[in-house]
Amino acid sequence: MIAKNTCIASVVFWFATSTCVFADDRQRISIQVVDEQAKPVEGATVAARYLKTVQQNGKDYPVPMELTPSQTTDANGRCELTLGDVDWSLAGLEAHRVELTTEEAMKLCDDAPRDPVEREAFDRELNDRCQRFGSAYQVLTPNTDLDELVTLKLAKAIKVTGRVRVDGRPLEEAFVTIHSRKTQVDELFARSAPKLTDHEGRFSFYAVPGDLDRARVIAERSNGIHVLTLADVPSKRTSTGFHFELDTEAKHYTLEKRP
C-alpha cells in the first residue's frame, strides 16, 4: 500500500513539475505603454497577432491570428504577454487606449446640462471624445529580442473630415476609407475602417497618424457596387487633423455587378 501511494505521489509530482517546465518554455514579453510625454498609460489594451498561412481551394491566404489573449496595462503602464506555442515568421504588437471608456462616458452623463442647446453641444463633444484614441504598433520577427522590455509609445489619433462629390453632386451613403500606404503592420491589424457619408456626402472619423494620402470610395447601389481607388489624395491641414474634398466623376468608378 505504501509502495502504491509512493508511486501515485511520484506521478502527480512528475505532472506538476512537467507542467511548470512546459510553461516556462513559452516566450513571455514584458511591455510598457507610455503616452507622447513618455508617461505610463493605465488601462491600455495590448494585443499580439501573427500571420498564419491558410489554404483554401488550393490557394494560400495570409490570415492574422491571435498570438495570445490581450492584456490591460496596470498603473505603471505595464503588462506581460505569454506567446502561444506556434511557429511564425511575422508577428506584431498593438497598444490601444480610448480617451473615454463607456463607463467614464456614462459618469459624465450624470452631470449633463438640462438646457436643450447646452445638452446638444455636450452630447456632440462627448461623442467626439468617445471616438478619440491613442495607438502604437511594433512588428516582431524571429530575430527580435523578446527578453528586453518592449516600450510602446502611443500616438494620438487625428481627426479626418471630408466630403465626396460625384459629377458635382454629393455622394451619400457611400463608404469612404482614408489611409496610408500599407505596411506589415496592416497585415496584422486593421488600422483604417470605412466611414459612411451623410446626405451631404460628408464624413468624419479619427485615424492613425500617417501620410493619409490614399482613399477608397464604395457606393452600393441597385445596379451594382461602384468602387473608386485614389492615390496621392490632397488634403488641407486643420487644427485637429486633415480635411479632404474628393471631387470625382462617375466614369472613374469601377462597376462590380452583384453576385
DSSP state at residue 212: -
Q: CB of 169 within 8 A of CB of 49?
A: no
pLDDT digits (tens, 9 = 90+) for 164-177: 999 999 999 999 99
pTM over 0.85: no
pLDDT for 141: 87
Q: What DSSP assignment string belongs to 151-191? A: EEE-EE-EEEEEEEEETTEE--SEEEEEE----HHHHHS--
Q: Is 258 exposed, middle or buried (0-12, 13-18, 19+ CB in 10 A)?
A: exposed
Q: Where are the domains of the chain?
A: 2-155, 157-256
Domain 157-256 has CATH 2.60.40.1120: yes
Q: Is 142 helix (H, G, I), strand (E, B) or coil?
A: coil
Q: CB of 130 within 8 A of CB of 108?
A: no
Cell of 239: 487644427
Nearest residue to 95 via CA among 34, 176, 9: 34
Q: CB of 157 within 8 A of CB of 135?
A: yes
pLDDT digits (tens, 9 = 90+) for 117-162: 999 999 999 999 999 999 999 999 888 888 899 999 999 999 999 9
pLDDT digits (tens, 9 = 90+) for 191-250: 999 999 999 999 999 999 999 999 999 999 998 999 999 999 999 999 999 999 999 999
Buried b (16+ CB within 10 A) or exposed e, 71-89: bebeeebbbebebeeeebe
pLDDT for 259: 67
Q: Is 25 exposed, middle or buried (0-12, 13-18, 19+ CB in 10 A)?
A: exposed
Nearest residue to 80 via CA among 23, 142, 132: 23
Would the CATH topology of 2-155 be identical to that of 157-256? Answer: yes
Q: Is 8 helix (H, G, I), strand (E, B) or coil?
A: helix
Q: Which CATH superfamily includes the segment(s) 2-155?
A: Carboxypeptidase-like, regulatory domain (2.60.40.1120)
